[in-house]
Chains A and B, each alone.
Chain A
Amino acid sequence: MSWNEIGSGADAIRKRINREPLPLLAIGLPWLSIILASMASFSPIIASAPILPPLAYMMLLGWRMMRPGMLPVWAGMPLGFVDDLYSGQPFGSGILLWSLTMLAMEVIDERFLWRSFAQDWLAASLLMTAYLGTCAVLAGFVTGYPLPFVILPQVLMSVMFFPVVTGVIALLDRVRLLPLKRL
């Protein structure tokens, strides 16, 4: 069964009657996917340069934009903590920056009520650039050897890659709402 067929077709419609999504999956999948993205540093790639875009942060932005109000405002604190465990950044930078991101998204929601995807992409690009820049500055504090231009390819890659991440999140969202629980 391909992903397009999920939740369509006569058989699927019959299966939907009397069903609802599993609460564990419906609530837990966004959290789980972001945490797993944080653990992407345990991927087969052993990099000698920062080449991967900040996948976990992009997942956070993607979920927050696709389903506003599903992740609570304070979600940045626990998720940022988990990201700090694996990211290699000075501890606490994730907690701080992810909390600030959730607050910034509240402001964006307040100011720009009806947004197209292009505007979402623009907002995410600005947030990701600010995030990567601040991370590099904080890492530069620790090493005492600031390297501002190292992150440029990474920033470009994150901006280009964001629609792909939103696509993955849309897919996960369909999985999240699969009617698996019998009423």
Chain B
Amino acid sequence: MARSQDRRPGYSRRAQYGIFTGYVIALLGVVAGVIVLVVSLINPDAFSFARSSAAEIARPMGQANAKGRATGQSVFGAIGAYFNAGRQNADLRREVDAARANAVSMQSLQDENRRLKALLGIVDPARKPVATVHLIGSTSSSTRRFAVIDAGSGQGVKPGFPVRAASGLIGRVIEVGPDTARVLLVTDPENVVPVRRSTDGLAAFVQGASNGRIDIRLINMGVNPVKKGDVFVTSGSGGLYPPGIPVAVATDPHRDGATGHLAADPANNEFVIVEPSYQAQAAAQLQQIARDGEGTAAETP
């Protein structure tokens, strides 16, 4: 390709200055980039206002796309299923057998639970969701894993609120605009979720690996008791996530933990639920208990 004409301006002073100014502005761009980058490395929230207004602008586009996503995904799913049909069939058969056995034990557990709860007089506090929302965008070409939902401070969404789908945890809200909010997905390496094994309460952490998988790390080192297929749910410690939301299924145990896949893939969920942060709920429950306690204490004498 030939050298472009305007790089050789000849004797025109104006053209020469034009080129010179261009280079000066380009170098200023580099300097500005470094300064902004350092600021945002020190304080990641520094430019959240710009990001949330940009998300507001792109909101209609994302919403339109979210509507079309279900159809698009079923097409990809259909093609994928065609390739995996045989293996999937065998897997599903095995899973159904396991699930049947589980269902029986679950039934008995549920019965027992109901009886015990009735005995104790505990009422399940209904967790009322803040909003039911669409996922309208995600950072699909960056190693940071963020998604954008189409509800914001106008709908009562606040930073720190957990976001979940029916089948498991999606992430938590970190930045809020008027009508959009940015969600840190569970697969982001910055998102560390305290979990426990659903069967016996074995404590662990889940950290994202940015590749659609997650790392499950045990708190107590020693012989690794994690087996393939173990389900990990949120433990509620730390106060961010309410306990009992499925997070991960272990697929590949290794020396000090396991690699797992997500209980709820954000790509498969058209709608997700924003819940109030657990700490606020816990505080409200404690107050309720204290109030009840006062009531009973006042009655007894």
Is B29's CB within 8 Å of the partner chain A?
A: yes
Contacts A48-B266, A73-B26: A95 and B32 contacting too (C-beta < 8 A)? yes
- Render B10-47 as a binary contact track against A, CB cut-off 8 A, 1 for contact: 00000000000011011111101111111111001011
CB pair A55 B141 closer than 8 Å: yes
Shortest beta-carbon distance, B40 to chain A, in Å?
A: 4
C-alpha spacing A154/B211, complex, angstroms: 11
**Which of the candidate stretches B142-150, B193-201, B230-238, B285-293 sits at the interface with the other chain?**
B142-150
B33 lies within 8 A of A150 (CB): no
Chain B min CB distance to A51 (Å) = 6
For chain A residues 81-112, which have a beta carbon within 8 Å of chain B? Answer: 82, 84-100, 102-103, 109
Is B4's CB under 8 angstroms from A50's CB? no
> Could you say which residues of chain A place their CB within 8 Å of the CB of B181?
none
Inter-chain contact A69/B69, CB cutoff 8 Å: no
Q: Is the CB of B188 within 8 A of A42?
A: no
Q: Which residues of A contact B34 (CB under 8 A)?
A: 92, 96
Chain B residues, Cβ within 8 Å of A89: 139, 142, 144
Q: Is A127 an interface residue (CB 8 A)?
A: no
Residues of chain B in range 127-171 having any CB-CB distance to chain A below 8 Å? 135-148
Bound: A51/B225 CA distance, A = 33
- Residue of B with least CB distance to A109: B3
Q: Flag whether A172 is at the interface (Cβ < 8 A).
A: no
Q: Does B37 contact A92, Cβ atoms closer than 8 Å?
A: yes
Instruction: Choose among B36, B188, B212 the residue with the greatest number of A CB atoms under 10 Å from its CB.
Output: B36
Expressed in whole angstroms, the Cα–Cα distance for A40 and B61 within the complex equals: 10
Contacts of B140 in A (CB 8 A): 40-41, 43, 45-47, 50-52
Closest partner residue, chain A, to B38 (CB atom): A92
Among A92, A100, A109, A147, contact of B143 (Cβ-Cβ < 8 Å): A147
Residue of A46, A99, A141 with highest tally of chain B CB at under 10 A: A46
Cβ–Cβ contact B40 & A136, under 8 A: no
CB-based contact B189/A80 at 8 Å: no
Is the beta-carbon distance between B189 and A145 smaller than 8 angstroms? Answer: yes
Task: Enumerate chain A residues within 8 angstroms of B65, measured Cβ to Cβ.
Answer: 42-44
Contacting residues of chain B (33-79) with chain A, CB-CB under 8 angstroms? 33-41, 44, 46-47, 50-51, 54-55, 58, 61-62, 65-66, 68-69, 72-73
Interface of A is mostly: helix
A141-B30 in contact (CB<8A): no
Contact among B27, B41, B68, B147 with A44 in the assembled complex (CB-CB below 8 Å): B68
Q: What is the bound-complex CA distance between A154 and B143, given in angstroms?
A: 10
From B33, B46, B135, contact of A46 by CB (8 A): B135
Name which residue of chain A comes closest to B1, CB basis: A115
A69 touching B4 by the CB < 8 A rule? yes
Q: Which residue of A lies closest to B18 (CB)?
A: A72
How far in angstroms is the closest Cβ of chain A from B18?
9
State whether A45 touches B267 (Cβ < 8 A): yes
Closest Cβ–Cβ distance, residue A24 to chain B (whole Å): 20
Checking B47, B61, B136, B207 against A145 with a beta-carbon cut-off of 8 angstroms, the contacting residue is B207
B252 at the interface (CB under 8 A from A): no
Say yes or no: is B277 at the interface (Cβ < 8 Å to chain A).
Answer: no
Closest chain A residue, CB of each to CB of B186:
A48
Residue B5 lies at the interface, judged by CB distance under 8 Å to chain A: yes
- Indicate whether A50 sits within 8 Å of B210 (C-beta atoms), given known contacts A44-B68, A89-B144, A91-B50: yes
Contact A80 B141 (CB under 8 A): no
| Residues in chain A near residue B3, CB distance under 8 A | 109, 113
Q: Are A114 and B142 interface neighbours, CB within 8 A? A: no
State whether A49 touches B148 (Cβ < 8 A): no
Do B36 and A99 have beta carbons less than 8 Å apart?
no
10 more contacts with CB within 8 A, not counting A65-B1, A73-B22, are: A42-B58, A47-B140, A86-B137, A89-B139, A90-B41, A91-B39, A91-B40, A96-B36, A120-B1, A140-B143
Question: Which A residues lie at the B interface, using CB under 8 A?
Answer: 39-55, 65, 68-69, 72-74, 76-77, 80, 82, 84-100, 102-103, 109, 113-115, 120, 135-136, 138-145, 147, 150-151, 154
Query: 8 A-B residue contacts at CB 8 Å?
Result: A43-B65, A47-B140, A50-B143, A74-B25, A85-B50, A90-B37, A99-B29, A103-B26
